Amino acid sequence: MIDSEVITLACFGQWVQFPSERAFYHYAQQHLRAAFPQLPDRSQFNRLLRAHRDAITLLGLSLVDLLHAQACCYEVLDSTAAVTRDAKRRGTGWLAGQADSGWSNRIGWYEGFHLLLSVTPLGVITGFGFGSASTHDQHLAATLFACTGYLAYPFPKKR
């Protein structure tokens, strides 16, 4: 596959809601084969995606500039769960010491990370931060603001 094909499929895979890389690849095999006849097997495709990470990132940053995301009068902060493992399984799990258990109103108890996004009214992601699943939004927001140069109100620690 040529670079533009890999980048196009990477963007499509993120903009449409697929539950996993495997589900996206299955969809691509079934519905996109005519547009991408050189689609390799799934493991090779995943290696191609990772090899083109920098180009995909540059495309995302270019879209932020093209959509004038910095000119918006406000941004919204929202958070979500990033699941790495079922919280009910025994053992230390994947990323022991970094990921932990947390609560999400959408999925209940989970093991993984807590992701905070800064988004414009057009839906352009202008910043993000993540911590372990038990991290509170306020702490992630304070860190995000500090890293991006915004002044953040110091939140009191919970006792």
Length, in residues, of the chain: 159
C-alpha to C-alpha distance for 140 and 78, rounded to whole angstroms: 11
Last residue of a domain, one of 66, 94, 115: 66
Question: 98 with 132: CB under 8 angstroms?
Answer: yes
User: Do residues 35 and 80 both lie within one domain?
Assistant: no
Residue 25 has a pLDDT of: 92
State the total domains in the chain.
2
- Enumerate residues 6+ apart whose C-beta is below 8 A from 114: 79, 80, 81, 82, 102, 130, 131, 132, 133, 134, 135, 137, 140
Full residue range of the structural domain in which residue 21 is found: 3-66
What are the per-10-residue average pLDDT scores of the chain (159 residues)? 92 78 90 93 91 89 81 86 70 69 86 88 82 88 78 51
